[in-house]
Amino acid sequence: MLRQEEVARLLDVDLLLERLERAFVELSAGRTSVPPRIAAFVPKRGLLAAMPGYVDGVLAAKLVALFPDHDPSHQALVAVFDAETGTPQAVMDGTHITAVRTGASSAVATRALAREDARVLAVLGAGVQGRSHLDAVRRVRDFREVRVASRTFEHAQALAQEADAVAVESFEKAARGADVVCCCTHASEPVLRREWLAPGTHVCSVGASQEGPELDRATVAAGLLCVESRVAFQPPPAGAFELQGLRPDDAVELGEVLAGTRPGRTSDDQLTVYKSMGHAVEDAAAAALVLELSSAGS
């Protein structure tokens, strides 16, 4: 049994980036087993989703409660099983894993898709995911300026102070002139507009409101669209609001870009968009790393 403090102490983000890259490649190569996410809904309160997965020799399942009015809104447990025998090996906190693996997956996408010379990072949303993105995405490019905006300016100020960034008053002000924009809000109407984005910007969006899209259609349709898995094109809640009506084959999977089987960015002025829905392979990769580091006595 690994409690949250222990998971937080053990989970090494730089190592996680490597493990996530491998997991995405396995996913896109069709070597994983991940059934569609299912959930039980509590009227007006939230949901409890089950996310089992087998990837790269790891068999794990996450149970995640999403209660938007609770802080934190995502609370989870991850169980890991021995993939040779089926014997349970560990149960661990999944709340920290969910927070960290999501920002780390965006960092993997940013490393693969953002321009090498990206210098200005904008994070929209100052909650758990805003914090996670500020930590992870900064590891993959040499950012000179980091901006944070949130619906509530005081939240942006508090996070900016904690994370050595600059708080700005509006999403527009944060996004204009940024090279990488990470949307980390629970908004159900777009927080980003295509016209705010400079040519060559890379956008990550992890927002997963059950009521509407975080990104506007013009941004999603403007350049290269990248997803964890084409399941994201299914109707919500399995898929993303942003992707409805678009052709799955027009998008690339992150694992395809990493493996080199589909092209990533093809020019410096191309807009690239990574729309994340979260995937069980990310939790399995993170939980396996925690277990490995725990067993090694880290």
Instruction: Note the residues at the interface with ligand NDP (CB under 6 A).
Output: 72-74, 98, 102, 125-130, 150-152, 155, 184-187, 191, 206-209, 276-278
Q: For ligand NDP, which is the closer residue by CB, 65 or 187?
A: 187
Structure tokens at 245: 């009506």
From the CB of 125, what's the least distance to ligand NDP, in Å?
4
Q: Do residues 38 and 128 make contact, with C-beta atoms less than 8 angstroms apart?
A: no
From the CB of 267, what's the least distance to ligand NDP, in Å?
27
The amino acid that residue 280 corresponds to is: A
From the CB of 150, what's the least distance to ligand NDP, in Å?
3
From the CB of 142, what's the least distance to ligand NDP, in Å?
25
Whose structure tokens read 């569609």? Answer: 36
Residues 6+ away with beta carbon under 8 Å from 247: none
What is the maximum alpha-carbon separation in the chain?
54
From the CB of 283, what's the least distance to ligand NDP, in Å?
9
From the CB of 55, what's the least distance to ligand NDP, in Å?
16
From the CB of 155, what's the least distance to ligand NDP, in Å?
4
Q: For ligand NDP, which is the closer residue by CB, 102 or 219?
A: 102
Structure tokens at 81: 């099983």
Query: Is the alpha carbon torsion for 239, 243, 244, 245 positive or negative?
Result: negative
Q: For ligand NDP, which is the closer residue by CB, 32 or 89?
A: 32
Q: For ligand NDP, which is the closer residue by CB, 213 or 223?
A: 213
Closest CA to 182 of 125, 127, 108: 125
A 10 A CB-CB count for 57 gives 11
Structure tokens at 244: 């409805």
Hey, which residues does 164 pair with through a beta bridge?
none
Q: For ligand NDP, which is the closer residue by CB, 206 or 215?
A: 206
Whose structure tokens read 């944060």? Answer: 174
Segment (H or E) for 289: helix 280-295
Q: Do residues 193 and 217 make contact, with C-beta atoms less than 8 angstroms apart?
A: no
From the CB of 151, what's the least distance to ligand NDP, in Å?
4
Backbone angles phi, psi at 41, to 5 degrees: -110, 135
CA distance 34 to 30: 10
A 10 A CB-CB count for 137 gives 27
Q: For ligand NDP, which is the closer residue by CB, 36 or 260?
A: 36
Q: For ligand NDP, which is the closer residue by CB, 115 or 194?
A: 194
Q: For ligand NDP, which is the closer residue by CB, 127 or 239?
A: 127
